[in-house]
Chain A
Amino acid sequence: MAEQMTGAEMVVQALIDQGVEHIFGYPGGAVLPIYDAIFQQDKLQHILVRHEQGATHMAEGYARSTGKCGVVLVTSGPGATNAVTGLTDALLDSIPLVCITGQVPTPLIGSDAFQECDTVGITRNCTKHNYLVKSIEDLPRVLHEAFYIATSGRPGPVVIDIPKDVQFALGSYLKPQAKMSHPTYKPQMEGDLEAIRIAVDMMLKAERPVFYTGGGVINSGYEASRTLRDLADLTGFPVTSTLMGLGAYPASSKQWLGMLGMHGTYEANMAMHDADLIICLGARFDDRITGRIDAFSPGSRKIHVDIDASSINKNILVDVPIVGDVNLVMEEIIRIWRAKTNQPRTEAIAPWWKAIEKWRGVNSLAFTNSDKIIKPQHAIQRLYEASKDRDVYITTEVGQHQMWAAQHFHFDEPNRWMTSGGLGTMGYGLPAAIGVQVAHPDALVIDIAGEASVQMTMQEMSTALQYDLPVKIFILNNEYMGMVRQWQELLHGGRYSHSYSDALPDFVKLAEAYGGHGIRCDDPAKLDDAIDEMINIKKPVLFDCLVSKEENCLPMIPSGKPHNEMILPDTADIGSIIDERGKVLV
């Protein structure tokens, strides 16, 4: 006979049975029974956050750095609404999360009870799936199903809303099945073999090919990044990646072109523009990547591998769609390629590489350094040099610092780079770093931040202190919302409307107030020592790095322009580049 227990005990038992070790949450009236069940066990460790948004980003950082599902526990009403930003972030970046929300007791639902909100209504469009569990009989199935849906196929966030009376109710608990299945939800894993054959034939004939890889390669698991390396070795093709895919292919490889897209490298974007074959692996032709759609890579044929059929032909029409898990499809490509030839197409694509080397020679990430003032790009380069030989994980907030981090910090392994790509959530990095540190207690975890973003979730410093999580918050402080300022320079005649960071706190004192360690540096000559100090302190650190104020993040594909019309670093006046029609775009 199945074990009898309360709904709250089922929640805890199901989490343990799903292999969960850490959950991020905040208690409240409608989840008290679950918190009571957590109190009476020691297998699950609960991390108490300071704001529910922080819990969701911590769970995202935890998930992205481990490949496991992140778990969040919040109360009804404001607990659930505060989690909405993180859920949306996880949906857009395909991060597996299970978020358990308390709900008012079922007889009170719809009565505008205290701390009641329509959680499933509010989260319907910002989750992969959600549940309101009105009966204890449904609870064990829903708990296990939620993990299955969150982690399989294209991963995403799942909300389980559990009314308080269901948490108290007694019922029969069921263990998870060894092999989960669902009557209607059946992600397609194997790619269509005929399509893969056609893809390989096209690859074998390509003269100007490029691999355009994305977050899907990371979501597909560690194996996928190995397979991608094999595939690149086997073919000899160049590789570029989206922001979300950094690390799946090593930045130290000669075949690596750097990131593509709005702030990608010249060589990556020119290669995309001039290619005759684009092989898209687990990316989705997002608008940050394509630039002007009708001028996107005009001369290429396109192969698109994606586990989500709806991503294919959504923005860009492709020639060969392959729906399936990117690792399995890459393995098939390798197998079929090997059956036909064992040689990379070195000779056939030699002229292509020559062109790429010419673009590489433009050195589009160059910047004018200074010995008087710290340049933000220089700060990231020094941070990279100081930490690259360590077990390092990087998170970011959103804005210029994020793009500079993507350009100047280099990743050779997956799951080392956590950033908010799709939603662009300022305030993501600090809590995400805490989540990463929970999963990797001995690693060096750095949040590359801006002084504006970091204030959105600054209170989570208190969480870091409470759990002895020595995250390093490296703030590139230019006293501007830098990316907003840059766009105002580009589009609005340099009228910096409300993009100036006024009344900033003293970050050193703030760190000390939290019980952490504060460092301030404004001298390029002292930067290396200050970074070493940050790395060596076993405490949370706020590093206030004062950098040049009006640096622009370049290169850049301005809005409404194609890949081959990038703004390069030597452009003097960026204010006159975007035309009237481009100005309405974001």
Chain B
Amino acid sequence: MNANLLPTGSAYFLTQQTQEPERHTLTVLVDNEPGVLARVVGLFSARGFNIDSLTVSETEHDKHRSRITVVTVATPKILAQIKLQLERLVPVHKVHDLTAEGNAIERELALVKVAGVGEHRVEALRLADAFRAQVIDASTESFVFEVTGKSSKVEQFISLMAPLGLVEVVRTGLAAITRGSEGM
């Protein structure tokens, strides 16, 4: 789309965006039936919504219930649409906007492979200790670290490893839960 055409004031370019996009974490409780993830992801792509991070697993085996955690970046108006469109899907129980509801705990796990010898190797290990990252595999020329925490911490750890021989990274995506005694 040609940006300098904005705003034409037609339905195809809605009123010029005055709202700022925000990053929100949504929890989607779904029946774990075949294709449910495709429905959720397909809805995001079909309607042009963003997915920054996606975490899925069955969490209540007896009820075949899964929890999908989605991090998205959108304006408040689009966020409301995302929530309502998700709730329209037949296998979706509930959608919670944890960012809007406030006070959620968010964690992510990353496995980080770093190769090197000498001073770099020592420095990588020292930093891993500072970040409370675990060594879960080691060879004479490499480590695999397991680091857990907020995404920003994981991000920072990875960037520190970059000059020290970073080979590859795998991240789980965000898991999030509300504080306190209440469940959803």
The answer to whether B42 touches A314 (Cβ under 8 A) is no
Q: Are A585 and B35 in contact (CB under 8 A)?
A: no
A-B contact pairs, 15 of them (CB 8 A): A121-B35, A125-B42, A149-B90, A185-B90, A286-B11, A293-B11, A293-B14, A309-B87, A309-B88, A310-B81, A310-B84, A310-B88, A313-B80, A317-B77, A585-B10
Question: In the bound complex, do residue B31 and residue A293 qualify as a contact, i.e. CB atoms below 8 Å apart?
Answer: no
B39 — which chain A residues lie within 8 A by C-beta?
Answer: 124
Residues of B within 8 A of A (CB): 2, 5, 7-12, 14-16, 30-31, 34-35, 38-39, 42-43, 46, 77, 80-81, 84-85, 87-88, 90-93
Assembled-state Cα–Cα distance A185/B87 (Å): 9
Q: Which A residues lie within 8 Å of B2 (CB)?
A: 584
Residues of chain B contacted by A292 (CB below 8 angstroms): 8-10
Contacts A124-B35, A124-B39, A560-B9 given; indicate if A182 touches B90 (C-beta within 8 A).
yes
Cβ-defined contact, A308 with B42, below 8 A? no
Contact assessment for B10 and A293 in the assembled complex, using a CB-CB cutoff below 8 Å: yes
CA distance A272 to B87 in the complex (A): 31
Going nearest first, the 3 A-B pairs with the smallest beta carbon separation are: A287-B11, A310-B84, A581-B8
Q: Are A581 and B5 in contact (CB under 8 A)?
A: yes
A286 to B11 Cα, complex, angstroms: 8
State in angstroms the CA–CA spacing of A488 and B24 once bound together.
Answer: 44
Q: Residues of B contacting A582 with CB < 8 Å?
A: 8, 10
Q: Is the CB of A294 within 8 A of B11?
A: no
Q: Is the CB of A293 within 8 A of B9?
A: yes
The 8 Å CB contact of B92, one of A184, A290, A295, is: A184
A residues adjacent to B (C-beta < 8 A): 120-121, 124-125, 128-129, 132, 134, 149, 182-185, 286-287, 290-295, 308-310, 312-315, 317, 559-560, 581-582, 584-586
Contact for A584 among B8, B16, B80, B91, CB less than 8 A: B8
B14 touches which of A121, A315, A586 (Cβ 8 Å): A315
Task: Name A288's closest neighbour in chain B (CB-CB).
Answer: B11
In the assembled complex, the CB of A372 is this many whole angstroms from the nearest CB of chain B, namely 39
- Provided the pairs A124-B42, A132-B34 are in contact, do residues A184 and B93 lie with their beta carbons within 8 angstroms? yes
Residue of B nearest to A184 (CB): B93
Bound Cα distance from A267 to B102, whole angstroms: 48
Q: How far is the CA of A571 from the CA of B80 in the complex (A)?
A: 42
On chain A, the residues within 8 Å of B43 by CB distance are 125
Task: Check if B87 sits within 8 Å of A290, measured CB to CB.
Answer: no
Note all chain A residues with C-beta closer than 8 A to B87.
309-310
Contact call B8/A184, Cβ cutoff below 8 A: no
Q: Tell me, rounded to whole Å, the shortest Cβ–Cβ distance linking A559 to chain B.
A: 6
Also in contact, A308 and B90, with CB within 8 A (given A120-B35, A315-B14, A585-B12): no
In the bound complex, do residue A287 and residue B10 qualify as a contact, i.e. CB atoms below 8 Å apart?
yes
State how many angstroms separate the Cβ of B7 from the closest Cβ of chain A.
Answer: 7
User: Which one, B34, B77, B91, contacts A184 given CB within 8 A?
Assistant: B91
Of B9, B30, B35, B90, which contacts A132 at CB under 8 A? B35
C-alpha spacing A98/B15, complex, angstroms: 38
* CB of A302 to closest CB in B, whole Å: 15
Contact between A585 and B77 (Cβ–Cβ < 8 Å)? Answer: no
Distance between Cα atoms of A559 and B38 in the complex (Å): 35
Measured CB to CB, the closest approach of chain B to A150, in angstroms, equals 11
Q: Across the two chains, which residue of chain A brings its CB closest to B31?
A: A184
From known contacts A125-B46, A310-B88, infer whether A295 and B12 are also in contact, taking CB-CB under 8 Å: no
Residues of A near B15 (CB, < 8 A) are 293-294
- B42 surroundings in chain A (CB, below 8 A): 124-125
Q: Write out the residue numbers on chain A whose beta carbons fall within 8 Å of the beta carbon of B46.
A: 125
CB distance from A356 to the nearest CB of B (A): 25
B8: nearest residue on chain A (CB-CB)? A581
- One of A134, A184, A294, A309 near B90 (C-beta < 8 A): A184
Cβ-defined contact, B38 with A124, below 8 A: yes
With A291-B11, A294-B15, A315-B14 already in contact, 17 other A-B pairs whose C-beta atoms are closer than 8 Å:
A121-B35, A125-B42, A125-B46, A128-B90, A149-B90, A182-B90, A293-B11, A293-B14, A294-B7, A312-B84, A314-B81, A315-B11, A560-B9, A584-B5, A584-B8, A585-B8, A586-B12
Give bound CA distance, A317 to B14, whole Å: 11
Instruction: Tell me how far the C-beta of B80 lies from the nearest C-beta in chain A, rounded to whole angstroms.
Output: 6
CB pair B9 A121 closer than 8 Å: no
